[in-house]
Amino acid sequence: MISERSPIRKLKALVVDDDEVQRTILKKILKRYLNFEVVEAVNGEDALRAMRADRPDVVILDVMMPVMDGFDVLSSVRADPSLCSLPVIVSSAVTEKNQVLKLLTLKVDDYLVKPIRQDEVMDRLSPIIDRLVQAQASHTVAGGP
């Protein structure tokens, strides 16, 4: 269940997928039902640029993309001290055991199996939203901006 508390600022999600239809579906769910600001990227390189330019609160990342795949993106995120704690949810049709194990090794936060379903997105994001709202509240109480 989504937190009863409201975030101090609007949460931002980065949706990374080379498939426009998948990005549109996720964007609608995130905006309409979870009140996220949504930024989109069509490949891994664009995603890393977007993350470094204006860090999102959560990333929903496709695995199979041109230019730079999701495995490489996740490896780069986890190796970057400024991004390593960023929650990343993979969104993919890939369900092969060895690939899922590789994602777990790379410390993915959660996994959405395509086709995307609204209830599953909301269930997967609920604990992340709760943590983000709690962190915002703690930061404000501690004297942050």
Say which CATH number the domain at 67 has: 3.40.50.2300
Question: What stretches of 1-145 show up as alpha helix (H) in DSSP?
Answer: 20-34, 44-53, 70-79, 97-105, 118-141
pLDDT for residue 134 = 86
Residue 145 lies in a domain: no
Query: ∠ at Cα 40 (39, 45), nearest 5°?
Result: 115
Residue 2 lies in a domain: no
Residue 6 lies in a domain: no
Question: Residue 90's domain spans which residues?
Answer: 12-139
pLDDT for residue 136 = 79
Residues in the chain predicted with pLDDT less than 70, given as ranges, are 1-8, 139-145
pLDDT for residue 98 = 81
Residue 103 lies in a domain: yes
Residue 1 lies in a domain: no
